[in-house]
Amino acid sequence: METIYWGCLIGGAIFAVVSLVLGDLIDGLLDGAFEMPGLDFFKPVVLAGSITTFGGAGIMLTRYSSLSAMSGLILSLLIGIAAAMLVFFAYIKPMRNSDVSIAFSMKELSGKIGEITIPVPEKGFGEVMIRFASGSTIQTASSFEHLPIAAGARVVVVDVVDGVLRVSEWDENLLKDL
């Protein structure tokens, strides 16, 4: 039984070292391979940590306790499961919940209010700046209504076509009339 414990401990340690050195490469290769919807508990880092802890606990219990082989196995399994829960709830779940990104999709820009930085001619392109909580972006814009729009004018993004924001001048008075 001790051979199995040593195999788990050494295998988990090797996985930890390899994932430390080649983490991004392994993550890319295994991306989605072990992920099951709703079962984040089975991520490779959780499983590897659990197996390594199981092996280490098994060796310690076999060598330094007077427990029977079956009792040592059961206790090692419980310690491995506890380690998996600790890794999951102390590392995986908080990291998943803290996923913050400043990225945006062009399709998300429809309906956003912006300001023209380079005038938009009737037929042609200018630029619009759209502010987000995390910063701002400047994108190529064209007039949705084929009317010229001056620099500094507030606009609303009506549509996105081939990476170009089609904008229309924002009329504050229109909202007051509603």
pTM > 0.75: yes or no: no
Q: How far apart are CA 111 and CA 59, in angstroms?
A: 62
Q: Which two tokens stand for residue 105?
A: 């999709």
Confirm if 130 and 109 have CB atoms less than 8 A apart. Answer: yes
pLDDT digits (tens, 9 = 90+) for 106-154: 888 899 999 999 999 999 999 999 998 778 889 999 999 999 999 999 9
Residue-level pLDDT at 93? 77
